[in-house]
Amino acid sequence: MGMDAEVFAMSKMSKAYFMKGVLVIAMVAMFVADASDTNDVFSPCLDAKVRREDGFTFAIAFSDKQSFIQDNSPQLSPCDGRLDLTNKGAPVAVFRPKVDEISLLTLNSSTFDPAKTGGYMVAFAGQKYAARSLPIMFADNSHTITSFTLVLEFQRGTLQNLFWKSYGCDACSGKGVCLNNQDCAVPNTVCQNNGGIACNIGIQLAFSGTDKNLNVLNSWYEVKNLRQYSLYGLFSNLRDSIVGPYEKLF
């Protein structure tokens, strides 16, 4: 997948232009709908109304915290040109998970240097009904936080909010450093010494609310009920494949 210097001219993109015009650092579940997917909206900067089992496209932008604020105005989506993320070279990761399935998204830190992107990320989707998360720190000059949970909340199939959830440091279990008493992190020196693999970022994704047929989306409640240890165990094999080679260094 080629990379382009232009990042965020996304407000009115077609699918083809979006694929060519955005610096995409990661993509999950390629933009090919299966038989059960009725959603034909593929740009995170367009509105979609979805049902369970549809694919849903959203994105995560990376920059410094101030880049996501415009003159103390209400929260703007990264699709909004007033943020001027294009000239700031902010990378974006695009995902298309299946609605109401628990997913683990992985950001490969060998593709970009987390410590040099500004250290904050915002999840977003939509145009007229634009929704975005609050900026959340994922890296500073010393550490990279490697585990996150993101909840997408829908009402009648339209995205309303995106929430970052924290479970504290109990899941670090010797594989990382507890940062600010709430996040599992890896020292950046470990990333630099080992090709970045140890600082890959995992995002557990879940859904809440209702789809366009008023079916309740349950995956967030499932995540919540699994509790921290079980949830991490659910993805243990994949997680170990990401950080396993460097566990002894943590």
What integer pLDDT is reported at residue 236 of this predicted model?
47
Amino acid in the structure at residue 246: Y
> Does 193 have pLDDT greater than 80?
no
Ranking 82-91, 95-104, 226-235 by mean pLDDT, the lowest is: 226-235
Mean pLDDT of the chain: 75
If one compares 241 and 51, the residue with the highest pLDDT of the two is: 51
**Tokens at 113, concatenated:** 């240097």
Among 48-57, 110-119, 195-204, the range of highest mean pLDDT: 48-57
Give the model confidence (pLDDT) of 63-95 as tens digits: 999 889 877 666 789 998 888 887 888 889 999
Query: How many CB atoms within 10 Å of residue 35?
Result: 6
Calculate what percentage of the chain has a pLDDT beyond 70: 66
**Confidence bin at 35 (pLDDT 50/70/90):** low
Ranking 135-139, 171-175, 189-193 by mean pLDDT, the lowest is: 171-175
CA geometry: angle at 3 spanning 118 and 30, to 5°? 100
What integer pLDDT is reported at residue 112 of this predicted model?
66
**Confidence bin at 136 (pLDDT 50/70/90):** very high
* H helix and E strand count, the chain: 4, 14
What integer pLDDT is reported at residue 199 of this predicted model?
74
Measured CA to CA, the distance from residue 245 to residue 110 in angstroms comes to 15
> Does 231 have pLDDT greater than 70?
no
Measured CA to CA, the distance from residue 9 to residue 83 in angstroms comes to 11
What integer pLDDT is reported at residue 179 of this predicted model?
82
Measured CA to CA, the distance from residue 148 to residue 104 in angstroms comes to 10
What is the mean predicted confidence (pLDDT) over 111-129?
Answer: 85
